[in-house]
Amino acid sequence: MTMSLPQPVFDANASGGSGLGRLPEWDLRDLYAAEDAPEVTRDLDWLDVACAEFAADYEGKLAGLDAAAMLACVTRYEQIDVIAGRLMSFAGLRYYQNTMDSGRAKFMADVQDRITNATTPLVFFSLEFNRLDETHLAGLLAADAGLARYKPVFDRMRAMRPHQLSDELERFLHDESVVGASAWNKLFDETMAGLTFTVAGEDEDLNLESTLNLLTDTDRAKREAAARALAAVFDKNIKLFARVHNTLAKEKEIHDRWRKMPSPQHGRHLSNHVEPEVVEALRNAVVAAYPKLSHRYYRLKAKWMGLDTLQVWDRNAPLPTEAPRSVGWDEARETVMQAYAGFDPRMAEIAQPFFDKGWIDAGVKPGKAPGAFAHPTVTTVHPYVMLNYLGKPRDVMTLAHELGHGVHQVLAAGQGELLSSTPLTLAETASVFGEMLTFRKLLDAAKTPAERKTLLAGKVEDMINTVVRQIAFYDFECKLHAARAEGELTPDDINALWMSVQAQSLGDAFDFMDGYETFWAYIPHFVHSPFYVYAYAFGDGLVNALYAAYASGLEGFEDKYFDMLKAGGSKHHKELLAPFGLDLSDPAFWDKGLEMIAGFIDELEAMEG
């Protein structure tokens, strides 16, 4: 069990500009009124006392507790988790609103230090709990239904038993964490947020988000200028990014070696509560499908664009037939809410407060973290969604995606702090399903073949980005960590690993410009959450199978779906998916999801005829 920390699993009214309307901004007062609010001091002080008292009451005594006393112990631990999570959520969300504000950065660092120091006495808990005899624990769970509720949490904790270090070493690692990975994460975030890009033809220097956004511009010259500006700045900073990756991969290798992890990926699989062979089956199915998915689609796209080969700046280009349009905030909101309500009115009801109560921060602002995320904060408050909304049609899908996370987090909150968190493999289910509902609504409303083609092509590109691109990212990480185990990697070494997976996954339709080899540098997941990326492909494949069950009229689908989201992390994926007749351990399962993408490409090819 660990304290909650906000992570972009990279997530006054701001004006959107360009006719987007007034974009919502976070109201963080549901967490704390301000950084100097007396409640912040009160909760930090409470945490110091509560953690010390918890250790005094329970350290060295867990084996002697009866079921009722063990339940009281777990409940006290959960309350500490809520307060620590609330503090870190407030500090983290304020920081992500403006990572260039040194006051916000200091406040987050100070809160993190206080929490790390306060919670150090708790390190004994999971270590001592994992030493409990299996038969004894089974007896406790049998004796108290309230305690038995937490069995999934205990199972996840005890999965770490073979990899546990001595109590003293675990305490050391806990204390040292603030100058380890989290410090390198902060350096990466602050460096990225501070980068500016001089793009030919633009009046002023742009930040990362705005420069990446130009890669979807209708003007090919603008796209090329953006790609070259990205390459120039990444190259200038490549030594720093290589240092970040070298250090984090080495730190992970040291920790994994001491913990006797069989592979760099194993810790992620354990925390996801998913079997390595299930992930391997997903990875192999996607790689085998590259030729019929990405390779085939990009050849089709080159033909539409009148090009012999595509350049990297054409990968996310709009189609020549696509009329450029900007989607205002009100239209985006209406589109997503109607799609949600069309599936089940309950879903729209849960989503409504995000728009009305300051739970979304949508505008692009200087210093704001790039990307988008939904952060659950703690189960006693509510989630917050971060977007960088620029009015692109894809931004509507991002809203549908993050709002799906938000709905999932609201529903799962009923499980309480320790059971609400969904393993990453299922954490993308509601978000991708929300996107699919929105896409199907738009597709059904298409008035012309050209409009249908644009929508289908956009969805195929999103699915390729979610499935093919993320599995290529996963392969890149696997290669990076394996190579780092053999020694220090130069920037050229890392560049070569990146290009090997890019060429394999994108196919022969692409010619890769000089400089593209450094584009690994800006992907935050490699830094924040090693091996997280397969969760996106996992979520897409799973949702394609779920949507097929929904479309085929599976009886009671909506209720089953809500029950699955409400379960949070309280059930294993086998149990969660059984009501839908789905089994992830079946190797053929992933092929079904990939067939849906191939089917869309079939339809696009048929339109050519």
CA distance 297 to 292: 8
Domains and CATH numbers, the chain: 20-179 (1.20.140.70)
Q: What is the pLDDT of residues 10-43, one digit of tens each?
A: 432 333 455 799 999 999 999 999 999 999 999 9
| Alpha-carbon gap, residue 478 to 266, rounded angstroms | 11
Q: For residues 534 and 423, give the distance between their C-alpha atoms in angstroms, rounded to a whole number.
A: 12
Burial of 170 from C-beta contacts in 10 A (0-12 / 13-18 / 19+): middle
Q: Which residue stretches of the chain have pLDDT < 70?
A: 1-18, 322, 324, 609
What is the structure's pLDDT at 609? 59
CA distances to 28, 33, 43, 45, 602 from 38, rounded to whole Å, are 15, 9, 9, 11, 61
Q: How far is CA 413 from CA 157, 335, 569, in A?
A: 20, 26, 10
Give me the amino acid identity at 204. Answer: E
DSSP for residue 36:
T
Query: What pLDDT was estimated at residue 4?
Result: 38
Strands 360-361 and 373-375 turn out to be unpaired
Q: What is the pLDDT of residue 274?
A: 87
Do 14 and 362 meet the contact criterion of CB atoms below 8 Å apart?
Answer: yes
Q: Which residues lie closer than 8 Å to 323 by C-beta, 6 or more apart?
A: none
CA dihedral angle for residue 515, residue 201, residue 310, residue 447, rounded to 10 degrees? 140
**Crossing angle (nearest 10°) for helices 167-176 and 102-119:** 170
With beta carbons less than 8 A apart as the criterion, state whether 76 and 373 touch: no
Quick one: the chain helix, strand, coil %, rounded to 5? Answer: 70, 5, 30
The closest of 537, 573, 546 to 156, measured between CA atoms, is 573
Task: Give the model's pLDDT for residue 272.
Answer: 83
pTM of the prediction?
0.81
